[in-house]
Amino acid sequence: MVVHVGVIGVGVMGADHARKLARVVSGAELVAVSDFAVDTAEAVAAELGARVHVDGHQLIIDPAVDAVVIATRDDTHADLVLAAMRAGKPVMCEKPLAPTAAECRELIATQTALGLPTELVAVGFMRRFDPSYLALRDRVRDAQLGAPLVVHCVSRTVHTYPGGDSASTITNSAIHELDIVPWLLDSPIVEVSWQHGRSSAHSGTRQDPQFYLLRTASDVLVTVELFLNARYGYDTRCEVVMETGTAALALPAALTVDAERRRGVDYPADWIPRYSDAYRIELQEWIDAIAGGRPSSLASAQDGLRASVVADALVESMNSGGAWVKVASG
């Protein structure tokens, strides 16, 4: 059985999803794309052999479309997910499910009210499919090194896009850490504290870097450095300190190069090479689950909400000068 997919929003990320669905995901066929920039949609459609819908809502109700990927601007997610729910079509929405926890709650309430299965809505927390994160979770679970005590996360990108503020660092970027840490430790985040020091000269109007302390229900202390204008490269780090040893994500590298008095490996400039495999595996699992009529292992709407309530608590801590803030129940 082939799953016919439509992709709404074919900017850098959506176009990448569209290409993967058209070319390297088994059992999927890309049939339609849509974008507020019609030219962009037409170019992607021509490249990959799909039809164009001017409007995402029309794509959703197109009978040729079995399942929908949403990769539009954050503030349009909720509306489109709702439309997909009403059409009864499986939907994978890029993170965040919605910019606020309130909107996430509303979506889940509608999903319940409509009697829709949980698996109908998936959220694109692709790190759950990254082979390194999976290997790290295996190490934590096998407990050979004892219980996890402390986790150090670092997430750095080359530069920010114009227009964000300090809160958007949390809701849009740190949200990945807020999802992956509970998944890694099998324990929800219950308390958070927002901290900062000097901001980079390149940070524009937002505080950058930011630093967070998180505490899980299992009392693991988690530290997170989020630095969006780190300039040097796209770099995700995570070290889990356990009772008799530690495990950390290795820096992925194809080559070691010796040149100009240095031995080095390259950093990617952005998430595309770093998480390409994770996105592919995530999409494959999503398609396989739809085709097989079974729940997928993608993050659910509930997972999307859980990350959002932690983000809300971090924003509250930021606004209150760094105090520890309890996380509301998801």
- With contacts defined by CB under 8 A, how many residues of the chain interact with a second copy? 78
Tokens of 268: 């990617």
CB of 4 to a second copy, least distance (A): 14
Compute the distance between CA of residue 46 and CA of residue 27 in angstroms, rounded to an integer: 21
Report whether 284 contacts 26 (CB < 8 A).
yes
Q: Does 141 bind a second copy (CB under 8 A)?
A: no
Interface positions, 177-196, toward a second copy (CB under 8 A): 195-196
Q: Among all chains, which residue has been given the structure tokens 């590298």?
A: 253
Interface positions, 21-60, toward a second copy (CB under 8 A): 22-28
Interface positions, 97-116, toward a second copy (CB under 8 A): none
Q: Does 167 bind a second copy (CB under 8 A)?
A: no
SS3 318: helix
Specify the pairing of strand 148-156 against strand 221-227: parallel
Select from 63, 113, 163, 261 the one that contacts a second copy (CB under 8 A): 261
Interface positions, 207-246, toward a second copy (CB under 8 A): 209, 211, 213, 215, 218-223, 225, 227, 229-233, 235, 241, 243-246
C-beta pairs of 306-309 under 8 Å, 24+ apart in sequence:
306/179, 306/182, 306/188, 306/330, 307/95, 307/96, 307/125, 307/175, 307/178, 307/179, 308/96, 308/97, 308/98, 308/100, 308/101, 308/104, 308/171, 308/175, 309/101
Select from 132, 157, 171, 236 the one that contacts a second copy (CB under 8 A): 132
Q: Does 251 bind a second copy (CB under 8 A)?
A: yes
Q: Among all chains, which residue has been given the structure tokens 């309530």?
A: 309
From 71-79, 85-93, 103-111, 261-269, give the range in contact with a second copy by CB under 8 A: 261-269
Select from 36, 57, 152, 164 the one that contacts a second copy (CB under 8 A): 152
